[in-house]
Amino acid sequence: MPIKWTRRYRSRLLNVTESPLGPGWTTSWFPTLKRVEQSWQFVSPEGVSNAFPDPDGRIERGKVIRLLGAFLELIRQRNQYIVTQWNVESGEIQRFVFTAEQGSDALLLAAVENVSGDGVDLTWTASGRLGSLRQRTENRTVLINTRSLDV
């Protein structure tokens, strides 16, 4: 799986998700998953927002929720929440693996992988910024150097 950075702006994301690039921006490495009232909200790398309805807590009990029209499914396995996205035209299937941080409601993207397990692992800094991307197959790592600007 290649490491490539694609940035997109979506005005409908202005109040939906926070991004290190600013309101409305998303990239291939900033999809989000969070619990919002009685559903799980997933914002894809393309900036498309979908809600998985879960009023009775099926995900926490290990059940699968599918959004067939959006070609998405969500499941919890141990401390990981996995959103699978499939493209019916290309046959490509991607899995976005989020981990729950202890003592926090935040779900951090831990990996993006295909069905054969090839993928990219992500690390995050203590301040919640992307720290690195590591490609599993070729074991290549890209370190992300971010610094806050004091204005």
pLDDT < 70 positions in the chain: 12-22, 102-106, 146-151
pLDDT at 33: 93
Q: What is the pLDDT of residue 118?
A: 92
Q: What is the pLDDT of residue 13?
A: 64
Q: What's the pLDDT at 151? A: 39
**Per-residue pLDDT at 47:** 83
Per domain, the residue ranges of the chain are: 7-111
Q: Could you tell me where the beta strands, DSSP code E, fall in the chain?
A: 7-9, 25-27, 32-36, 39-43, 49-53, 65-67, 72-77, 80-86, 93-100, 107-114, 119-124, 130-135, 140-143
Pairing mode, if any, of strands 130-135 and 65-67? unpaired
Instruction: Please report, for residues 100, 106, 107, 123, the alpha-carbon distance to residue 103 in angstroms, rounded to integers and kept in the order given.
Output: 9, 9, 11, 18
Q: Which amino acid is at 51?
A: A
The reported pLDDT for the residue numbered 106 is: 67
* pLDDT tens-digit series, residues 102-144: 655 668 899 999 988 899 999 988 877 888 899 998 887 877 7
